[in-house]
Structure 1
Amino acid sequence: MTFPFEALTACGAELEEEASANDAQAAFPSEGMGRLRELGVLSASLPHTLGGQGFGTGQQNIIGLLHLLRLVGQGSLALGRIVEGHINAIRLIACYGTPDQLARAAADVHDGALFGVWVTEGTTPLRMEQVDGTIRLRGEKIFASGARHVTRALVTARTHDETTRMLLVTLDDGRDVSPVFGGLSGMRGAETGRCDFGAMTLPPDAVIGQEGDYLRQPEFSAGAWRGMAVALGGIERLATLLRLQLAERGRAESPAQQARIGQALIATETAYLWTRKAALIVATQDGRDAGDIVATVNLARIAVERAGLDVIELVQRGLGLSAFTRTNVAERLIRDLATYLRQPAPDETLCEGAAWFTHRDLPRMEDMR
């Protein structure tokens, strides 16, 4: 059975419509998530042996996963963020968990569970303590995407000796969740919030992997390509809106506007090529230097960010004030994309990639087969 990419493409308009309708209230896109679940998007990352498509848990089908994420991103970046977090959690369990833990996760996915990865510390960092055969938690996570809807959260917690472990936490409806202070201007549908884990207890088998696994390279940095794929979908959609709206107004023949359209197309293709390169180097990582993988993905991340920011500027200049009106889907998409592109430590990421390749060549696409 192959993944229904045509059906996913066809539902892009309804995902976009729900994203716009929900934006003002920062409401979670429940209908869109239900539609994606029906299409098998949430189970696609599972291995074939566990009822999935093998998208993301291994090194095969990487390009299929890229296509899936960009299509979701074209319809809704907020949904794309939730789906990417779900896939990230499954990937980490597959990489570092036991076969039984992965099998249980797969069963949960087939039963409708939504996974997420929450690692950003709040005022009170999340800590774990082993007492009487159980794990007790105290502390919080902030910027937790899907805070009220994720039912299986993969979190990082500090131990008494200040090492970091991964835990898979089953969440119920009684969780203590509050919005991000002040709220976010974009990606509002992702329902990003703060979750307090105080007084929660877990069984010993909630621990995933060994100490330090979450930050282990190249997996820690290499996974950023999936976020690029979601952003790519938003960039593609925004460039399309520029072309369509200029044509509708009869302004697409203006030389200045044609130049903007051309620049937007160049930026979009640049984002695609760098995202594909990052995905392929992850897919062909066996036998490669981990530094090559990390540095390539780091440079790709900055290239995609730059392409997205360029397209945002081109759309705002090309459409003028209409790009700032709430009734224009481009206005929301610009806010969502600008927020989504704001990943941590961009300067450090760029400098690390540049330093690595100062005295060695960047891997070529033709070698990634």
Structure 2
Amino acid sequence: MASCPQTAVGRLAALARARFAERADGYDRSAAFPAEDFADLSAAGLLAAAAPRAYGGLGLGPQQRVTLPLWEMTTHLAAADLSLARCWEGHTNSLVLIDALGTAEQKRCWFAGVVERGEIWVAWSGEPQAPKPGEARRFGTTVESVAGGWVVNGTKAFATSATGARWAILLVNPAGPGGARHAAAGACDELLMLVCDLTDPTVTVDTTWWDPLGMRATASHVVRFDHTFLPSGRLLGEPGSYLSGQWQTAFVPHYAASFLGAAEAAYAYALRYLKHQGRTGDPYVQQRVGRMAVNTDSARLWLRHVAGLWDEGRLDEARIAGSRARHAIEHLAEETVQHCIRACGARSLVRPAPVERILRDLTVYQRHDDDDHILATIGRAALGERHDPSFHKP
């Protein structure tokens, strides 16, 4: 167990460089969940980073007000493999929710599973409300209250870590399909977080749907629930607590930490490549490298600023600052990758160079939220208009 947050960050960074970066290409090509990476994280005592120290964790994250080290870990993982970082985000964000909203018994049981048995968590909301062109299937869940708990039927899409996680926090609504992002007005108070054991035989994974351009190793498949019974002790928090507590705002800047990792990986590759090619004297190359240096520094400063607001308990400021950081860092990262490609040339996009994968992964992951709506949310806040920093809706 690491004695301090920065020691833990350093240990994780060393693993990312020595092992995870080397495995990333293989996981991408096979679209396989990075199971070996998570096994290494567990063996190193890092899988419970966001669990409280009282339960054997490292006590990191916004709930414990030690936020930046957790986001720095994510950045290091993303520099090695952006898909791995997304799976890690889902896991650690789930632990933050358990820490904030779980009962004493839930915390004792679920954190012990992570610390002692290396169990992986994830939270799933995705229920797209309309099929894309050419797509026949529809997604969505129904929830029925029964004696002793609930019965869930239907499907979740974009179910990250579907073939690797042991537990999933399902964001579901008895009022009808939609998940958290699509909760209808008036139905938000009914949104439930129900914890599902993914070894339940009524839960199946459809691996035919997930064939994306990038983020392939997130294993974000379709998951089907066929009369899956979830007992009352699996309810996390009160109905509606995810939305009323604005917990999504704690995770919005966490995405940006992954974007930064992708940018740092591209920047590091460019430095190595350009030095090896003897092109450091080219003034145009120097300008692009200078831009990359400024971009990555700026992104780090944004994350440090937002993390500080969370740690100081300045929640209203932290929530809108997280949206600002998410918007800014998306563009800083995107620009950094493009500068790398332009400075290094077409060979940087030929495998096994990692830039080709970084470009694909970042392109897909940036679609996690609509940046146009994020920017409009920032504008509404600045104008004193009603705004939703969780899901960027008017």
Mapping for residues 39-118 of structure 1, pairs under 5 Å: 39-56=44-61, 58-110=63-115, 111-118=117-124
Displacement after TM superposition at 1:83 (Å) = 1.0
Does structure 1 conserve the Cα–Cα contact (< 8 Å) formed by 2:39 and 2:118?
A: no
Which residue is 2:335 aligned to?
A: 310
Point out where structure 1 has 5 or more consecutive residues left out of the alignment: 361-369
Displacement after TM superposition at 1:277 (Å) = 1.5
| Letter aligned with residue 194 of structure 2 | L
Which residue is 1:321 aligned to?
A: 346
Percent of residue pairs bearing the same amino acid type: 27
Displacement after TM superposition at 1:357 (Å) = 2.5
Aligned-residue CA RMSD (Å): 2.0
Mapping for residues 238-277 of structure 1, pairs under 5 Å: 238-277=266-305
Which residue is 1:365 aligned to?
A: none
Match of residue 11, structure 2, among 7, 12, 26? 7
For 1:95-137, what per-residue CA distance to the aligned partner results, in whole angstroms no more than 9, with x for missing partners? 2221211221111112221000111114232222122323111
Matched, 1:350 2:375: yes
Displacement after TM superposition at 1:160 (Å) = 4.4
| Letter aligned with residue 69 of structure 1 | T
Mapping for residues 1-369 of structure 1, pairs under 5 Å: 1-2=3-4, 3-13=7-17, 14-56=19-61, 58-110=63-115, 111-122=117-128, 123-160=138-175, 162=187, 163-172=190-199, 174=201, 175-179=203-207, 181=209, 183-285=211-313, 288=314, 290=316, 292-358=317-383
Q: What is the aligned residue count? A: 357
Which residue is 2:181 aligned to?
A: none
| Letter aligned with residue 264 of structure 1 | M
| Letter aligned with residue 156 of structure 2 | K
Change (3 A) 1:180 1:318: farther
- Aligned counterparts of 2:84 and 2:140: Cα–Cα separation in 1: 27
| Letter aligned with residue 253 of structure 2 | W
Does structure 1 conserve the Cα–Cα contact (< 8 Å) formed by 2:78 and 2:259?
A: yes
Change (3 A) 1:310 1:212: same
- 1:200 match: secondary structure: strand
- Aligned counterparts of 1:54 and 1:166: Cα–Cα separation in 2: 23
| Letter aligned with residue 25 of structure 1 | S
For 1:277-297, what per-residue CA distance to the aligned partner results, in whole angstroms no more than 9, with x for missing partners? 122212222xx462x332211
Does structure 2 conserve the Cα–Cα contact (< 8 Å) formed by 1:46 and 1:57?
A: no
Change (3 A) 1:160 1:107: same
- Aligned counterparts of 1:318 and 1:305: Cα–Cα separation in 2: 20
